[in-house]
Amino acid sequence: MPHEVKGVISRTKGEPVEITTISVPDPGPGEALVAVQACGVCHTDLHYKVGAINDDYPFLLGHEAAGRVEAVGEDVTEIEPGDFVVLAWRAPCGECRSCKRGRPWYCFESANATQPMTLSDGTPLSPALGIGALASKTLVAAGQAIKVNPDAPPETAGLIGCGVMAGLGAAMYTGGVTRGDTVAVFGCGGVGDAAILGAKLAGAAKVIGVDIDPTKLKWAEDFGATHTIDSSKRDPVEAIRELTGGFGADVTIEAVGHPDVMKQAFFARDLAGTLVQAGVPNPTMMIELPMIEFYGRGGALKPAWYGDCLPTRDFPMLIDLYLQGRLDLDRFVSERIGLDDVEDAFRKMEAGEVLRSVVVLHP
């Protein structure tokens, strides 16, 4: 029997989101039905709403979630009903050319549920990032539901499922930050602040937060940025050079999704430095660089898809670090809200009032 539950959908490009009844099937082979306990509102959900990802409306929003497994398909062995899980938008298939070459963190055929969730009239929904968790229940591939220590509160644990992992991984994995590095993070929102935490965890000596919003810079300091730069007031490339003996940072992380910021991050590197692009651009954005600068500066330009994470490896580890008091994740939760408040949460996100608004469903 399909489950009729409330979910937050984006029906038409640019229109406010709606709460409506959606139909969630019972899990078939390889699938898991999850009762969502908490789901963060991520900037990527806003990208879906405004049509910056694709035009496959209606979208079922939400993808930063934790919950309890309610039921699993007959062949599912790795999780069982009652397990506390964080949902991942990467579930490596083991079969694609990337997995077969030993690089499952890039998996090109990541698994999702095969049955669609639908509106009550049967219209199939496109779940955000193959999850769709701004709903009291969701259907995912069993491999997307990662079992973690249930001592962690759902509203904190769920954030590991997207923004926090994307930022931590952008520093630790894609950027390869190591002991003694200088790291500059452009955009100190949820993803950028997680990159600051990731840089610290990896041993960076200097972590420079760059933003145009003074409140965000204050929060970046709370997360451990050693220096901050208001790039609405001064050229961040110059300021970063000043802080690094005239050279630039070893690793720069773009966590905004804007070509001007990408250029700043490109030029703020030291020779042979790495630029990590974590911000998601819209399809019309272009970047133009002098080829001689690309060559002459050396190093690497690397997009970070989900921080190159392996959820089965990283989620339980990060939750354990959090429970040991070694990873300050509670600070990301700016407010706890209901499903009705998602549109307002987008407004607050755009106004820079929050790091994460988290919808709490089944506390």
Return residues touching ligand NAD (CB under 6 A): 42-44, 47, 162-163, 166, 186-192, 210-213, 216, 231, 255-258, 261, 278-280, 304-306, 349, 352
Give the one entry of ligand NAD, Zn ion, none that residue 190 binds, where binding means its C-beta sits below a cut-off of 5 to 8 angstroms depending on kind: ligand NAD
**Smallest distance from the beta carbon of 262 to ligand NAD, in angstroms?**
10
Name which position in 10, 23, 44, 174 contacts Zn ion (CB under 5 A). Answer: 44
Q: Per CB under 5 A, which of residues 184..223 are in contact with Zn ion?
A: none
Q: Which is nearer to ligand NAD, 218 or 258 (CB)?
A: 258
**If contact means CB under 5 to 8 A according to the sort of partner, which of Zn ion, ligand NAD, none does residue 62 touch?**
none
Pick from 5, 19, 93, 201: which binds Zn ion (CB under 5 A)? 93
Contacted by 67, from ligand NAD, Zn ion, none: CB < 5 to 8 Å by type: none
* Cβ distance to Zn ion smaller for residue 96 or 337: 96
CA 80 to chain centre: 26
Residues 36 and 133 sit within 8 Å (Cβ to Cβ): yes
CA distance 39 to 87: 10
Residue 166 CB partners (closer than 8 Å, separation 6+) = 191, 194, 278, 304, 306, 307, 309
CA Rg, the chain, in Å? Answer: 20
Identify the three-state secondary structure at position 266: helix
Residue 162 lies near Zn ion (rule: CB under 5 A): yes
CA dihedral of residues 226, 353, 277, 52 (deg, nearest 10): 180
Question: Could you tell me the smallest distance in angstroms from the CB atom of residue 118 to Zn ion?
Answer: 23
Closest residue to ligand NAD, judged by C-beta, is: 189
Task: Give, for 240, the enclosing helix (H) or strand (E).
Answer: helix 236-243
**Amino acid occupying residue 152:** A
41 contributes a contact to Zn ion by CB under 5 A: no
Amino acid at the residue 164: V
Closer to Zn ion by Cβ: residue 109 or 353: 109
Cβ within 8 Å of residue 162, ≥6 positions away: 40, 42, 44, 63, 64, 89, 129, 306
What's the min distance (Å) between Cβ of 95 and Zn ion? 6
Q: What minimum distance in Å lies between the beta carbon of 305 and Zn ion?
A: 12
**CB burial readout 232-246, b (16+ within 10 A) else e:** eeeebbebbbebbee
Nearer to ligand NAD, 13 or 362 (CB): 13
Least separation in angstroms between CB 135 and Zn ion: 16
* CB contact at 8 A, 34 and 137: yes
The CB-of-336 to ligand NAD minimum distance in angstroms stands at 17
Q: DSSP class of residue 202?
A: T
| Residues 10-40: b if buried by 16+ CB within 10 A, e if exposed | bbeeeeebebbebbbbebeebbbbbbbbbbb
Stretch that binds Zn ion, among 44-52, 149-157, 244-252, 255-263 (CB under 5 A): 44-52
Specify whether the CB–CB gap between 59 and 49 falls below 8 A: yes
Size of the site for Zn ion (CB under 5 A): 9
Q: Which is nearer to ligand NAD, 69 or 251 (CB)?
A: 251
Contact residues for Zn ion (CB under 5 A)? 42, 44, 92-93, 96, 99, 107, 109, 162
